[in-house]
Structure 1
Amino acid sequence: MNIKIIGVGKLKEKYLKQGIAEYAKRLGKFCKFEIVEVPDEKAPEKLSAAEMEGVKEKEGERILAKIRDKEYVYALAIEGKERSSEEFAQEIAQLTTYGRSDITFVIGGSLGLSPAVLKRAETKISFGRFTLPHQLMRLVLSEQIYRAFMINNGSPYHK
């Protein structure tokens, strides 16, 4: 099984890198886990709606270039469906049961994901209505993926 997280922008914070590295190490016994960073589009603070769409489109092209046809894609989006950890674990288990062993999660930049990326995704997932930094989402998502494997293996990790 291959699990990939595609994130926009370079992760700079040491504590986030350390947390993700810990979960990547733990996930190593269950799957091949990788994080792919695509460059964010440099943009001024104040953007028009058209400029925002342009930024998302350029970032979206970079994201789509990292996704292969056979990959099952989850887009992290505020309008996505919220799931419990148990529901998420069950989804992962079902995907693998039906031969979908290449799963990719996409985390957009600060402006979100382009329509093209959202269209490519088989499903949208939301972690609630909170606004969280996209860099922090990499850590949260890594932990939830690990938790899903632990649930599916009957581990007491998930309480």
Structure 2
Amino acid sequence: MRRLLPHPLVSAGLFVLWLLLNRTVAPGPALVGLVVALLGGWSLALLDHARPRIRRPGLALRLLGWVLLDVARSNLAVLRVILQRDGDRRAGFVRIPLALRDPQALAVLACILTATPGSAWVEYDSEEGWLLLHVLDLEAEGGDWVRFVKERYEAPLMEIFG
């Protein structure tokens, strides 16, 4: 059974999504959806991904709370930047040196930084370990952003995935 459905939840989700997008449960679209769902589950199995090992689930929940709070604050800050139209505000890029090397933790960090309005993950150099971040409201040299990302996100992620 595991061979037919290596990722049953993914396949089920794809099947339901297919039916919702087609807005019908007629046999034709349902059969095509079943094929898409099976192919999606098999494709995911081919990626050969490792299961994440979360060492500190309590800290992970706390980090989730911080991220939600930061997203809300960031939305307000972006709104303020747009409405005020100050000449003092400027966008720019910040290069942040990271000690974080775990691919899954880096993926979570990328999601966090891109989901937060006003910032976007642009590039990551895995050999040298730096991240290029685009920021909508950049202060002086971006030192505050470097400290913020390292203390608020990188340090907890290193404990969670470390």
Tell me the TM-score normalised to structure 2 length.
0.23
Structure holding more strand per residue: 1
Bigger-Rg structure (1/2): 2
Structure with more relative contact order (C-alpha pairs < 8 Å, separation 6 or more): 1
Structure holding more helix per residue: 2
Tell me the TM-score normalised to structure 1 length.
0.24
